[in-house]
Amino acid sequence: MFGKFIKERRVERGITLREFCKSLETDASNWSKIERGQLAPPKNDKKLKKIAEILGIPVGSDLWITMKDAAAIDKGNIPSDIRSDKKLVGSLPMFFRTIRSERPAEEDLDKLIQMIRKGE
């Protein structure tokens, strides 16, 4: 999820993998594995902020939050049974945005969980 997100933004901006890695001061081979989901994303905010800067993502923006959420999911901060369900994992950023903007009532939260499980 994180790797795909970053690769899409990088390609949209016309930044090659090597250029990106040079700016980030990281090994292109390892970064390629992150983009393919074979390695976990960076763990610290300093590195995530540098990635955002390179990709033109303003810290605090919706894209920034989506990027941080994707990194958290891919770092294994989500239980393995949920991480193994690609459809459910794909719904998590929407879920996070929803509960951040307004704290839903318990009944509404239950409905949202059911929608996420169904992939609606």
What CATH code is carried by the domain that includes residue 36? Answer: 1.10.260.40
pLDDT at residue 43, rounded to an integer: 79
83 and 73 both lie in a single domain: no
To 10 degrees, the CA torsion angle through 15, 17, 18, 21? 100
User: Do both 100 and 60 map to the same domain?
Assistant: no
Judgement on whether residues 102 and 47 belong to the same structural domain of the protein: no
Q: Please say if the pLDDT value at position 50 is more than 60.
A: yes
Is 1 a residue whose pLDDT tops 90?
no
- Residues 68 and 83 reside in one and the same domain: no
Percent of the chain with pLDDT over 90: 41
pLDDT at 51 over 90: yes
Tens of pLDDT, residue by residue over 60-118, are 898 898 898 888 877 666 656 676 777 777 777 767 777 677 666 677 667 767 766 76
Predicted confidence band of residue 6 (pLDDT cuts 50, 70, 90) = very high
pLDDT at 27 over 60: yes
User: Are 16 and 67 found together in one domain?
Assistant: yes
SS (H, E, C) the chain: CHHHHHHHHHHHCCCCHHHHHHHHCCCHHHHHHHHCCCCCCCCCHHHHHHHHHHHCCCCCCHHHHHHHHHHHHHHHHCCHHHHCCHHHHHHHHHHHHHHHHCCCCHHHHHHHHHHHHHCC
Do residues 29 and 40 both lie within one domain?
yes
Question: Do 11 and 69 reside in the same domain of the chain?
Answer: yes
Percent of the chain surpassing pLDDT 70: 78
